[in-house]
Structure 1
């Protein structure tokens, strides 16, 4: 505050012109003192007092002229004359510490508070606490350095108090808002109808005060979400088909064990839908994710399996697309059963019906039943019906029944098949030339099915070769790529097959001859048995007749066979 004006008769020099901060410079007793009685008695030399400013005052403890000052470290009182001496020394030294203006103090007090409030918006609670402590210490340090080094006094109390009060107030406010939000969300979650009422299995019990009830409600909501997550994980894992959950960009988020069994090493960390479809030989995979269409289609895998691909979009509660569920269902057996059903319908509706109609037509006709041709025709039609039924039954067994495998010599099976068909060959005057029995040609498979397969090939050569001709059989062992194989070759001297007959070859009811003799199931049986044994069969045209080449995996150790 400015000094009051001088009273009437008072000398203006005795009135301070302005407020002045005193720099004490140390505790009481810093200035040299002399007893006044020694000066008056002349005991103090005059030279000692020459050119010095001397202040006279009372310093005795009992006189009461003593005051508390900030320079006293232990609470000692400082005499009034020492205070006057400190003030005089401050004036002689050019003045004491300067105090900032009110505006400057306000700005410096609000600046750390604004920094702390800014940290509340972007930092974590623990980091905010560390920031608050750092700002308080920084404020005190800056105030001390300014006072000692620059002679500038900045009171840090306001800034420190603001920082100390801001953190608990802001923490309380943040906690209250977060708690209110969680409470509202928990209540909304409890009121929403869920297709999976898992919470009904563990009824919610709200007991205690308000805080305890809110904590219990939050605990129950978290438990319900965990149970739902566990339910969804178990449901995905227990699905019978390979199923994945993928993000909109195709990255796989979840996959069950069936997917790993289907794709093996192709399903690694960071795998995408494109990788899975590429492994299946289907590059145009995005067409399955079209949410406007029912994306269901069949693709054939590299191992020959038929997979039904079905997708369904996943949406958030607000309707935003967050991914897709993709199912890979193995429908190979279903397709095989469908083909068998179609074959059975064809067999019953046409192939077996035609000879029966022919028999009835002969019986209802005018041809004499004593005519030898009449009996022969009925016998042929009946035998064709039996061949159709037997061929269909054998084909169905070859496609579906489990095989009884053992290690055997394919050369011996070829000899047995030729011996079985010797009566038919003799009746037509056909010679069956079989290979020499030198060396073993071991394969692993079902003896009955392999024998039947070789008989079908020989019977086919006898049927379409000329009477009095020759059917040539050969057997060799060799390599096909890196695999050891046995190769059986059966050739006849017939007319061979046309291009149309070759296209239908090895298909059920796909007759390989022009006059449609036979049931059309023998070569389909041969192909099925060969493929199920890991081999294959093919037709090779020659200058004369037709040649069928059967290839089967060869085994070199009889101990490799399962018992």
Structure 2
């Protein structure tokens, strides 16, 4: 079986903090990765994809006051091939003026060469208060090394630009409020939205050095849905007067190319897989934003980075504190929350927080941490399984997979099987104990009982059953506080309800880390032992009585006998006294050997002083002086005062017996580390090494001084019964020193 004393020390996973160190390392590495990747705009494409999906899902309805007049395929069929003469465009402007349009944005590729044909119509529109905005045409690079060339719109039209610049992925998401070069070109949508928007445009920034176009006031476009979301009429229908006035009156009208092959089609954030969107529809959404005061913008990179790091740390803390399953759910909920709040922020404030870094961090952190935790746990589990070995049980043949994780899992399963076997073995050992035994938990509940305990207390015993079994012994309730006291009230010998005498002992029950789990309690049936001891005591009393009574009678007869020779009388008296001494010594030795005597706090100095006083008469009779050294100082120990007194008396009487007349005996008490040492020193003939080897045996003496050989055996038995010992130091011819070692009170307690 596995020896707990020699078992390798365990290194619990929590005590060495490998998981915490790995967690800090993973958090640091992932935080640095988020910072580096965010700085390199590595999450831009993901952000764009999330923004596009959010835009499609949250697109507001197109406003009713923005209308598209399309130069579409049906108009081309009805009015002839493209390009049309400027007069036709002038007719369209007049038709829109007469229908009551609020403003007109006309993007049909018209330039200064069309000015003569368009001027009257533009003048009539301006006189009617209907502004007409037309975009300039830009070519970059320009001729003769110029950065760009520009073809301005016809005079009388509001000059503007209608440049559409897709992002790096080819998708249109933003437009510029103005283009600044040699002069400012506001966006056609800004020109149509009114004076308020024009006043709020960024300040004109004339480029330094060679003239180049620079964009000002980039804004995200709040697309109102996929292509075809705005109300639209063919320009042929407008020219033919087929569109009711009330559908045009008071509205901003954008005229643009939608016919196949004429105008560019752009992929937009809201188009998805539904196809391209014409420039006029892109501009319609931008006009709607400016007219409604809806400003859409991207959060700066620092805010996005702060959001990503904060959520990364939050989910990492959750994964450290929560179970893996709950931590994963928490991470997914955070992802959903980030996406919902981003969409809500775009709808309510117009600000897009660029959540891609946060979403990626939340999705990557759980598998990364799971991988690192699996590595740490697998290494720790492998070490622990190596240390556990076979738990002292017979070895089994192992069939392990080559994969390390699967291998560790299979080893763990085998170890669990071994633990189950060990548990069954422990249960069998508990039930096989002859004494009634209980396992008591730290809360005082009885968690296991063997068959002997169930016989004593009943099946599935509880605390009340234990109390009832020992009712009448004046014991406190069977509770935890009574068991936590060493040698407490439930520790001792008690009479049980079934009439048996029970010795109750308990010891703490601890786990592998030496933490208390409860107590193991034993209720040993000592009835037969106590009966045997009583019979033994009775036999000893009878034996000593039968030995003493005849000898006392012999002494009485010898003392009264007349005519008995003195030498014969003295010899008979000596033999009788020897027999009485033998009986007394044997009785004392038997009691000392029996053990289990009552112990209490005693003062060894006081016991030694009392023993010296008791031996005073005998020492005076032989003119021997007893000198006491350091017997005036308290020397506390734990023992039986009567037995210790008799042991010291035996040592002093032996010294008197073997000391020459007129000599001196020293009785001294010394502290020896945590023990006390009582020395009895005489100046007698000494004891040879051969005799010392058997001096403390029964019926062994050191000379012809009339001893029976039980006194020193008694001293040895008492010393060992108190957890001490006795030693003899002697050189023949130089006397002897007998030393009695007894534990100090601190050591015993």
TM-score by length of 1: 0.51
How is 1:34-45 mapped onto 2 (pairs within 5 angstroms)?
35-36=234-235
Is the 1:291–1:313 contact (alpha carbons within 8 Å) kept by the matching residues of 2?
no
Q: 2:453 aligns with which of 249, 259, 273?
A: 259
2:430 maps to 236
* 8 Å CA contact retained: 2:177, 2:218: yes
State the match for 2:261 in structure 1. Answer: 62
1:100 maps to 2:291: no
Compared CA separation, residues 245 and 85, structure 1 to 2 (3 A): closer
Tell me, yes or no, if the aligned pair for 2:385 and 2:412 is still in contact at 8 Å: yes
> Contact 1:305 / 1:332 at 8 angstroms: preserved in 2?
yes
1:328 aligns with 2:523: yes
Structure 1 pair 272–317 and aligned structure 2 pair: CA distance change class (3 A): farther
Q: Structure 1 pair 88/273, CA: closer, same or farther in 2 (3 Å)?
A: same
Distance 1:87 1:59 in 2: 17
The match for 1:245 is 439
Unaligned runs of 5+ in 1: 359-563
* Shift in CA distance, 273/146, structure 1 to aligned 2, threshold 3 Å: same
CA deviations over 1:102-158 (Å, ceiling 9, x no partner): 333334444443432232122222222222222222222222233334433334433
What is the rounded CA distance, in whole Å, between the counterparts of 2:544 and 2:250 in structure 1?
144
Could you say if the C-alpha distance between residues 166 and 272 of structure 1 is closer, same or farther in structure 2, counting changes exceeding 3 Å? farther
Shift in Å, 1:242: 1.0
Report if the CA contact (8 A) 2:342-2:353 is conserved: yes
1:176-325 equivalences in 2 (<5 Å): 176-190=375-389, 197-198=392-393, 200-202=394-396, 204=398, 206=400, 208-247=402-441, 251-264=445-458, 268-269=461-462, 280-283=473-476, 297-325=492-520
Partners in 2 of 1:215 and 1:32 — Cα distance? 66
Structure 1: how far apart are the matches of 2:276 and 2:527? 105
1:6 to 172, 175, 180: 180
The 2-side partners of 1:144 and 1:99 are apart by 13
Q: Aligned with 1:61: secondary structure?
A: coil
- Write the distance in 2 (CA, Å) between the matches of 1:98 and 1:211: 49
Report the equivalent of 1:80: 279
Distance 1:216 1:97 in 2: 57
**Secondary structure of the structure 1 residue equivalent to 2:434:** coil
Instruction: Give the Cα–Cα distance (whole angstroms) in 1 for the partners of residues 225 and 461 of structure 2.
Output: 77
Q: Does 1:22 align with 2:221?
A: yes
Bigger RCO (CA 8 Å, 6+ sep): 2
Contact 2:501 2:525 in 1 (8 A): yes
What pairs up with 1:415-494 in 2 under 5 angstroms? none
Q: CA deviation at 1:259?
A: 1.7
Secondary structure class of the residue paired with 2:385 = helix
CA–CA distance in 2 between the matches of 1:164 and 1:119? 14
What is the rounded CA distance, in whole Å, between the counterparts of 1:179 and 1:134 in structure 2? 29
Query: How far has the Cα of 1:260 moved from its partner?
Result: 2.4
Deviates further, 132-141 or 315-324: 315-324
Separation in 2 of the partners of 1:284 and 1:56? 98
Is the deviation greater in 125-134 or in 148-157?
148-157
* Equivalent pair of 1:281/1:302 in contact (CA under 8 Å): no
Following the alignment from structure 1 to structure 2, what is the Cα–Cα distance between the partners of residues 161 and 210? 29
How far the C-alpha of 1:237 sits from its partner, in A, is 0.9
* CA positional deviation for 1:82: 2.3
Aligned mates of 1:240, 1:264 — CA distance in 2: 16
Corresponding residue of 1:126 = 325
CA distance in 1, matches of 2:298, 2:314: 24
- Equivalent-residue separation in structure 2 for 1:226 and 1:115 (angstroms): 40
Aligned counterparts of 1:292 and 1:204: Cα–Cα separation in 2: 48
SS in 2 for 1:25: coil
1:42 positional shift: 8.2
CA distance in 2, matches of 1:322, 1:54: 84
Specify the alignment match of 1:174 in structure 2.
373
Matched-pair contact (CA < 8 Å) for 2:431–2:450: yes
**2: CA distance, partners of 1:30 / 1:308:** 95
Structure 2 portions without partners, runs of 5+: 1-173, 188-213, 554-749
Shift of 1:190: 2.0
Task: State the distance in 2 between where 1:90 and 1:264 align.
Answer: 86
Equivalent residues of 2:457, 2:465 under 8 A apart: no
2:448 is paired with a residue whose SS is strand
What are the superposed Cα offsets for residues 177-216 of structure 1, whole Å, 9 maximum, x if unpaired?
222221111112229xx6xx21x25355545443343233
1:87-166 matches, cutoff 5 A = 87-166=286-365
Query: Aligned-pair distance for 1:340?
Result: 3.9
TM-superposed CA distance for 1:353, in Å, is 12
If the length of structure 2 is used for normalisation, what is the TM-score? 0.40
